Amino acid sequence: MGCNAAFLRWSTMLFLLGLGLCHLPFTKATSFRNAYATMMYVGTPRDYEFYVAVRVLLKSLSKLNVQADLVVIASVDVPLRWIRAFEEEDGAKVVRVENMENPYKHQDNFDKRFKLSLNKLYAWSLVDYDRVVMLDADNLFLQNTDELFQCGQFCAVFINPCVFHTGLFVLQPSTVVFKDMVHELQNGRENPDGADQGFIASYFPELLDKPMFHPPANGSKLRGAYRLPLGYQMDASYYCKFFRGTVVEAMVLVVVACPAIRYGAEMAVILIQSAIYLGVIAMTRLARPSFSKLCYRRSDKSINLVHNSLKIVALWCILAAYVTPFFIIPHTVHPLLGWILYLIGAFALCSIAINVFLLPMLPVLVPWLGIVGALMVMAFPWYPDGVVRALSVFVYAFCSAPFVWASMVRIVASLHWTQYKAGSKKDVLGKLSKNGRERDTLVQDVTG
C-alpha cells in the first residue's frame, strides 16, 4: 500500500512538472556563431514588396545550405503574420527593435523612403555572433558565401569607385561600436544622403585604402577592415550584359546600378528606333492618298479580292501594330524608356493601318490610350501593398474592355462604309463608261 502511494506521489509530481515545462517560453539556442541578417520595417508605399523581397532573400540563402543563422531585424510595427512567416516558413530568427530616430529627416535632399533605414545599425548589437553579413532585401544569392565570415571587423564592396555600398557588408558585432554609432547620430554626424549609406560610409572613411579580402585557406578569421571583390555585390542587369561568362564571378546579385551606367549602351538604339518611328508617322500621313488608291482603286478582279479579305487584313494589321514593338525593343532597356519607345512604335504602326485602310483615328488608338492608362494605374505610388495594385489594374482592365470592344465594332463599320463608297463609285464610273460606248455606236450607225 505504501509503495502504491509513493508511486502515485511521484507520478503526480512528474505530471505537474511536465505541465510546467510545457508552459515555459521556448528559446531556441543559437545554432551557429555567424549570421546572415537583413532588416524589415514598415511605413513606405511598398511595404508588401519589401516583405516579399526579404522572403526571397532568405529562400536563396536556405537553398545554398549556408552554415549560419538567418536573422531578420524587424521593427516592432511589422505585422505579426509577417513575423510568423519569417520564423515558421523561412526558418529565420526575428529580432524585434524600436525604430531608430533619424536626425537627418529635415535635410533638403532627404528621401522619405529611407527614414527608417538607420535600423540597419542594430546589426552591431547582435553580439551573440562572431560575424554578421548585413544585407539589403534586394540581394539574391547565387553561391554559398560563408567565406565572408572569415573577414575582419568591417568589409564592404566598392560598386562606386570611391564610395562603398551598404547593400552587403560584413561586421563584427560590438556593443561599444553600436553605442558609439548611436552617440554619433545624436550629435548629428555629417551624412550626405540622410540614410544608412551616407552614415556608415562616413563612419568608415578609410576603407578605400584597405587591402582586398582573400579568405585564408586555414579557415581563420582576419582582423581589421577589408575591401570585398565586386562579385559579392554585382548589379544584376550589369552582370547579365557585360560579365556573365567572363572572369568576373558573381556570387550575389543586386539591382542598385546607376541608370546612366546600366542603360547607356542602349541609348543609340533607342534614338535610332525613335527616329524611324517618327519618320513612319510623317511619311504615312503624306502618302495617305496613294495608299487609299492602292487598296480601293484597282481592277475589278483586284477589288473583289481585296474587299473580301479587307476586314481581316485590317484587323490583323492593327494587332500587329501593338505586338511588333515588343519584339524589337532592346530587352535590357530601362523600363521607363522601353514603354515610351513601345508607345511611339505602336502609334507609328497604327498610323500605317489608319492611312492605308482609311480608318478613323480614335477607334484604332483606343487600345493605345488604354495601355497608357494601365501604366498610370500601375505606377500610382500610394498603394498599401501589391495585392491592392493588382486589383486596381484588374478593375481598370474590366472597365476598359467595353471601350475596346466598341472601338473594334467602329473599325469594322468603317471598313464596311469605305468598301461601300469605293464600290458605288466604281459602279457609277462603269455605268457612265457603258452609256458612252452605246451612244458612240448609235451615232456611227446613223451617220453610216
pLDDT of 61: 94
329 neighbors 338 (Cβ within 8 angstroms):
yes
Which residue would you say has higher pLDDT here, 225 or 242? 225
Distance CA 149, CA 264 (A): 36
Residue 233 pLDDT > 50: yes
Confidence band (pLDDT; 50, 70, 90) for 22? very low
The residues that bridge with 212 in the sheet, in sequence order, are: 227
Q: How many CA atoms lie within 13 A of 70 on its CB side?
A: 21
Tens digits of per-residue pLDDT, 50-65?
898 999 999 999 999 9
Region 148-174: mean pLDDT is 91
Cell numbers linked to 227: 575591401
Confidence band (pLDDT; 50, 70, 90) for 422? low
CA angle 115, 119, 121 (to 5 degrees): 125
Residue 363 pLDDT > 50: yes
Non-local (6+) Cβ contacts of 58 within 8 A are: 38, 70, 72, 86, 90, 91, 92
Cell numbers linked to 288: 495617305
Region 154-170: mean pLDDT is 89
Tens digits of per-residue pLDDT, 175-222?
999 999 999 988 888 888 888 988 999 999 999 999 999 999 998 999
DSSP per position, 311-331: HHHHHHHHHHHHHHHHHHS-T
Residue 64 three-state SS: coil
User: E strands, 181-333, where?
Assistant: 225-228, 234-235, 252-254
Find where cell 505602336 sits: 346
Share of the chain above pLDDT 90, in %: 45
Length of the chain equals 448
Residue 261 pLDDT > 50: no
pLDDT of 122: 96
Residue 47 pLDDT > 90: no
Domain chopping of the chain, boundaries: 34-262, 264-429
Mean pLDDT for all residues in the chain: 80
Confidence band (pLDDT; 50, 70, 90) for 310? confident
Region 272-280: mean pLDDT is 92
181: nearest Cα among 130, 227, 115, 124: 124
The residues that bridge with 253 in the sheet, in sequence order, are: 140, 234
**CATH fold label, 34-262:** Spore Coat Polysaccharide Biosynthesis Protein SpsA; Chain A (3.90.550)
pLDDT of 439: 45
DSSP per position, 136-197: -TTEEESS--GGGGGS-SEEEE-SSSSS-EEEEEEE---HHHHHHHHHHHHTT---SSSSHH
pLDDT of 419: 66
Cell numbers linked to 253: 546579385
Confidence band (pLDDT; 50, 70, 90) for 311? confident
